[in-house]
Chains A and B, each alone.
Chain A
Amino acid sequence: MEIIEEGQGELVGWYDPDENREWVRVNKSRDLKDKRMAMADAVAKYVPDGAFLATGGFGHVRVSMAAIYEIIRQRKGNLTMAGKTAVFDADVLIGAGCVTRMEVAYSFAHELRGLSPAGRRAVESGQCKVVAELSNAAYQWRFLAAAMGLPFIPARDMLGTDTFKHSSAKVVKDPFSGKPICLLPACYPDVVFVHVPRCDMYGNAQIDGILIEDFELARAARRLVLTTEEIVPESVIRDQPWHTAIPFFLVDAVVEVPYGAHPCHMPYLYYFDEEQIAEWLRMSKSPEGAREYFDKYVYGTADFYQYLERIGGVRKLDYLRKVEQLRAAPNTLTRVPTES
């Protein structure tokens, strides 16, 4: 195939497909075994300094915040992160100094809430480096190529733009249509954390609502840690196997952590904690404020259960559940009601 143009971005997370097949053959167990683990152990074991990290969900929807706070608590460093719609997850990891390199589809912002003070400060000062650009669909298709065991996948986006020029993709002449087409290289993150509503102790997981890109990402991951709202009996999975989004042999560890996406949103269970997110956005306007936030909520709490008490405990969590069910308004309240 004739190469027409090559993006100049760094190629992150790519392996020759035969090399990765061999890695999978040796390292991914097919054994149906109990994979339950404590959060601290899973992070210590699967997140070495310098790793290439991706999180499931959508940046502030169904993200594994319990894992992210634990990465901060353990002061991991020099991480590269997939900015595959990175929102609150990346912002705190960058703000805490854990992530220093980003491949960006969407980063440094919080959708409707605006640009992120910590992320912008880090990238504009050079403390966090953007190693490549791409689009959301392009990132997701990179994971699809990896999930399929292919070196790349063709797509018709990014063509003609600076997004392409700063990506790791290539444009070639399609041998069938004769038209230029963009080839997206496969992407295998070193470690991926996916938060799910339920799975069994072997890692068979169901996801309620949109999958976003977790079907592909779970299959592209080298190491995959599931955090789950609850661990259910195996029979719950096997009674409805068509609901399994992630089968057990893709999974390296299972961590049960109720409300594990807080302050982000878990579809059907709890909505965004806007009060908590606003506190982060306010405090992270200065590096000192960001440090204070982490002292209060991360370094100053032993684990996620203590964190949940600090953010308002059962009263707050029950309120967020009602907001999700459209039984309480998120918008008119800036403070959680202290009595009902």
Chain B
Amino acid sequence: MTNNYTATELLATVASRQLEDRKSVFVGTGLPMIAGLLAQRTHAPNLLIIFEAGGVGPRVPVLPMSVGDSRTFYQAAAASSMHDVMSMCQAGHIDYGFLGAAMIDRYGNINTTVIGDYAHPTVRLPGSGGANDIGSLCWRTIIIMRQEKRRFLQKMDFVTTPGFLTGPGAREKAGLPAGSGPYRVITQLGLYGFDAVTRQITLLAMHPGVTVEQIREHSEMDILIADRIETTEAPTEEQRRLLHEIDPAGKVMGK
């Protein structure tokens, strides 16, 4: 692909377009933050952004280094607490949860805890953080991640955060809030949803220039393909300018 934009810019802009104006979103560190801030600066000025440490509806001036730093409650509607915002999540106030992931399976379950044997890990990752809470308690979860064969897995070493667990009805059976679950997965190759019946990951759109073969090459799990596959929009010059205004040092966009 010879584009005038980077894969990270594409991820951020596609992710940002998934967010609707006048809805609430709970965002995690990194690209989810960037996508939320971009949405606010473009099509969703009244997007209500909530951070897990207590920032509610801030006017974030520049990319925060932490979901708990002072930029996350800069000119906010409220600076409250984790108990408060997680409770609001549990009570149904939060439309979207926005997460990054190291690994995912076909039901949208996420692993951010460990690679390899739990007792003797090959790689120890940070653990749930707020991800399990966000994936359990928000209405719809959106996941942004890099798609590789070793990350799009048939079976994972560890389920940190619930997607649809083992398939249709499994979330409700486990006691998770009814009607909640994963909604979109965005990778550098495409945009995915989840089949309404089987709850399996389904390709909805590909980025410009990407082929179905590439999608399959970069996945160990089986991916359902929608009847009609859309092509995502490339980042506009204005979106790219805003992304670099949000993250001037390239802390996320430079990756």
Measured CB to CB, the residues of A under 8 A from B are 57-61, 83, 85, 87, 104-109, 111-113, 115, 119-120, 123-124, 126, 130, 133-138, 140-141, 144, 155-163, 166, 171, 174, 179-182, 209-216, 265, 267-268, 271-272, 274, 324, 326, 329-332
Contacts and interface: CB of A to CB of B under 8 A. Distances in A.
A138 B133 CA distance: 8
B30 A112 contact: yes
A264 B252 CA distance: 20
B175 A163 contact: no
B1 interface: no
B219 interface: no
Contact of A163 (B69, B113, B121): B113
Contacts, number: 200
B131 interface: yes
Nearest to B78: A210
Interface in B122-147: 122-133, 136-137
Contacts of A106: 126-130
A151 B124 CA distance: 31
B30 to A, nearest CB: 6
Interface of B: 29-30, 52-55, 61-62, 65-70, 72-73, 79-83, 86, 89-90, 109, 113, 118, 120-133, 136-137, 158-162, 165, 170-171, 173-177, 248-249, 251-252
A161 B161 contact: yes
Contact of B29 (A57, A112, A163): A112
B177 A135 contact: no
B175 A179 contact: yes
Contact of B132 (A61, A85, A161, A332): A161
A203 B65 CA distance: 30
Given A137-B133, A156-B90, A171 B175 contact: yes
A210 B53 contact: yes
A213 B81 contact: yes
Nearest to B61: A326
Nearest to B84: A211
A326 B62 contact: yes
A113 B65 CA distance: 8
Contacts of A85: 53, 68, 129
B89 to A, nearest CB: 8
B159 A156 contact: no
A105 B121 contact: no
A166 B124 CA distance: 15
A92 to B, nearest CB: 16
A210 B65 CA distance: 16
Given A61-B69, A112-B29, A158 B136 contact: yes
Contact of A107 (B121, B126, B162): B126
Contacts of B161: 161, 163
A25 B121 CA distance: 43
Q: From B62, B68, B123, B252, name the one whose CB has the most chain A CB atoms within 10 angstroms.
A: B68
Contacts of A126: 120
A104 B128 CA distance: 8
Contacts of A105: 127-129
Contact of B130 (A109, A113, A135): A135
A135 B132 contact: yes
A57 B69 CA distance: 10
A133 B124 CA distance: 12
B61 A212 contact: no
A159 B174 contact: yes
B86 A137 contact: yes
Given A111-B29, A124-B121, A268-B70, A158 B55 contact: no
